Chains A and B, each alone.
Chain A
Amino acid sequence: MQRRTLLKSSAAALVAVSLAGPALAQDPLKVGFIYVGPIGDLGWSYQHDQGRLAIEEEFGDKIETVYLESVPEGADAERALTQMAMQGADLIFTTSFGYMDPTINVAAKFPDVKFEHATGYKRADNVATYNARFYEGRAVMGTIAGHMTKSNKIGYIGSFPIPEVIQGINATFIHAQKVNPDVEISVVWAYTWFDPAKEADAAKALIEQGVDVILAHTDSTAPLAEAAKTEGVIGFGQASDMLDFAPSPRVSSIIDDWSPYYIKRVQEALDGTWTSTDTWGGIGEGEVVIGEITDAVPAEVKAEAEALAAAIGDKSYHPFTGPLNKQDGSAWLAEGEVADDGTLAGMNFYVEGIKGDIPQ
């Protein structure tokens, strides 16, 4: 019991510090980040860390950042989060889905520390969630892919069969088919987010099946490196820009850019206007950025892709707009109807025209 009171009083002391924090210029806001991979993964964790560097740049000595990398999900995450909160972090970004329950638990113990959990669905008064509409970027990639493919076969390397990836596959296919009714999509599940060798193998397998446009929903540059080995095969950067592979095979990219969101939220925390919100930003919010489309793409295709991105960005067009049927032919969205976020967040079906099953 005594230890618990000790814990409470140290938490209370922290509260005092964090409350006093924003008022004093010399006591910077401490912003913490927890990454699931090493920051050198050049993918998911790397992009979040780029966001951390962006807020350092933006706010200078008004803030201070700390981070923990390669934190396993589960018990270790809860401890790491608690240690971070105890060390005086005022705002903590937990950047992987598996941190959801630990974030909620630790947030309950530190009511005055603000938490932001990426890609989850549980919120509290001091836990906000944020995610990016990667599928918006996929729609643009799909358009380019539909025009560019000569074999009418595009390949998609999926990590795990989870809603985020299924959204991406559907968005890609819908928009590829719109510009090229004959297009087919082959999906390969790698069952890993990060295994460069396996990702390269998956790309190779697709290429050998006649695929000439490759999209990857895993985190390394390996699929692009593989695409580079075969003439006429193109691909896209994923998570980061991967400009090393431009102008071809990398003809464009989907960049996870967390910095606008991080800057906005840190600003709110500094101003004292931070509240728990659920943000799902996309191209319009600058969270999903379409990397430069290279000259390997014909000018009219480039213009069409950019116009699509602009329409998605200003919300005049939603990538999931009816009429759309599910894979089994049953109606999903009527003419002009737009998918609601709830359905998208739990998406577990392919749209009509995609062959194959989602593994269960």
Chain B
Amino acid sequence: MMGSIDPILLIASLMVASTPILLAAIGELVTEKAGVLNLGVEGMMIVGAIAGFAMAVETGSPLMGFLGAALAGAALSLIFAFLTQVLLSNQVATGLALTLFGIGFSALIGQGYTGVRPPPTPKMDFGPLSDIPVIGPMLLRHDPMVYVSILIIAAVWAFLKFTRAGLVLRAVGESHDAAHALGYKVVRLRVLAIAFGGACAGLGGAYLSLVRVPQWTEGMTAGAGWIALAIVVFASWRPWRVLAGAYLFGGVTVLQLNLQAAGVAIPVQYLSMAPYLITILVLVLISADRRRAAQNAPASLGRVFHASS
């Protein structure tokens, strides 16, 4: 029965299905690397979804839509940044409040946009390349955002690994007090990281409302932001593993739907738990190996930083 599923199409569709959570997760990764836990991803995603949708509809340009979504996500995340970095509020509580606010706020601004069809996002044109067997239909027939999301992953990876700023960011996440003592601007860096996270979450939301579904309906992210949080952990804060994690999470959903469509009887509800259980397992494995855990998990994650001097 498995044989009736075309693996090429399966991979192609899981790439599309995973892109929203991939974008949100890579943003959250940078935020967490800076030592900040922002549980408001869902809120930022859905505000991005409506902001991007509205922008695309008003301007007729999906590109403007994605830009607007990134800006809106970043703007919303700055509320979080202000509260947690300047006013030193608790990050967990503030993030949850951000989600609550984002869901309500997006529904308010979205009231005029239900039932509207957005301008279509064109596919990338790779010319004859997209006709290459296997690789063409699998990898080279997507819309630009699929590639942009992978480029963002690569950029974040390079940034964290090779640049001085990336090193400082990691240092800030590792020990804000030490970083501060060395003269780094902890708060400024963290605010930037939070804004980047917000922008990426906004893009992820807009991908849902402009490409994947494409329409605007209240509450349309339906928990995608929470999955993005899980992926960051699953990836043990490594950019390329975020890609793998997002494709795995997206893949499990796509695969179970495909299996059903192919007539294979599967226990859907139990299968849906699998990614979370795997994530816990991964967590255990990486933390059991303490040396590697210390390299990846930001030690100051979620802690309040206040420069007392």
Interface, chain A (partner B; CB < 8 A): 37-38, 40-42, 46, 155, 186-192, 194-198, 200-202, 204-206, 208-209, 211, 220-222, 225, 244, 355-357, 359
Contacts and interface: CB of A to CB of B under 8 A. Distances in A.
A192 B262 CA distance: 20
Interface stretch (B56-64, B162-170, B213-221, B283-291): B213-221
**Size bin of chain B's contact surface:** 35 or more
B218 A205 contact: no
B9 A208 contact: yes
A209 B257 contact: no
Nearest to A191: B268
B217 A220 contact: yes
Contact of B4 (A38, A41, A209): A209
A355 B217 contact: no
Given A40-B218, A205-B261, A356-B263, 20 more contacts: A40-B114, A41-B217, A41-B219, A155-B261, A186-B261, A188-B257, A191-B269, A196-B215, A197-B20, A200-B212, A202-B261, A205-B13, A208-B5, A208-B6, A220-B213, A220-B215, A220-B220, A244-B115, A355-B263, A359-B267
12 contacts: A38-B218, A40-B114, A41-B217, A42-B115, A186-B262, A190-B257, A191-B268, A196-B208, A196-B220, A197-B213, A197-B224, A208-B261
Given A198-B222, A209-B4, A40 B261 contact: no
A187 B262 CA distance: 9
A211 B111 CA distance: 35
B23 to A, nearest CB: 13
B258 interface: yes
B263 to A, nearest CB: 6
9 interchain residue pairs of minimum CB distance = A205-B257, A38-B218, A195-B222, A196-B213, A205-B261, A205-B258, A188-B260, A209-B261, A40-B114
B258 A225 contact: no
A102 B150 CA distance: 49
Contacts of A191: 268-269, 272
Interface of B: 4-6, 9-10, 13, 17, 20, 107, 110-111, 114-115, 117, 208, 212-215, 217-220, 222, 224, 253-254, 257-258, 260-263, 265, 267-269, 272
A192 B268 contact: no
Nearest to A41: B217
Nearest to A245: B117
Contacts of B215: 42, 196, 220-222, 225
A242 to B, nearest CB: 9
B261 A206 contact: yes
Contacts of A355: 263
Contacts of A200: 212-213
Given A40-B111, A220-B213, A201 B222 contact: no
Contacts of B5: 208-209
Contact of A202 (B117, B212, B257): B257
A356 B265 contact: yes
Contacts of B224: 197
Q: Which of A196, A206, A225, A359 has the most CB of B within 10 A?
A: A196
A198 to B, nearest CB: 7
Nearest to B265: A357
A201 B253 contact: yes
B254 A201 contact: yes
Contacts of A205: 13, 254, 257-258, 260-261
B110 A40 contact: yes
Nearest to B214: A225
A360 B265 CA distance: 11
A41 B114 CA distance: 8
Contact of B253 (A40, A155, A198, A220): A198
Contacts of B13: 201, 204-205, 208
Contacts of B217: 40-42, 194, 196, 220
A188 B222 contact: no
A348 B191 CA distance: 55
Given A197-B17, A204-B13, A209 B262 contact: yes
A42 to B, nearest CB: 6
A94 B22 CA distance: 39
Contacts of B272: 191
A172 to B, nearest CB: 16
Contacts of B6: 208
A249 to B, nearest CB: 13
A42 B116 CA distance: 11
A195 B20 CA distance: 14
A194 B221 CA distance: 10
A356 B266 CA distance: 10
A191 B272 CA distance: 10
A357 B266 CA distance: 10
A41 B213 contact: no
Contacts of A194: 217, 219, 222
Contacts of B114: 40, 42, 46
A114 B222 CA distance: 34
A225 B115 CA distance: 12
Contacts of A221: 215
B273 to A, nearest CB: 12
A359 B272 CA distance: 14
Contacts of B268: 189, 191, 359
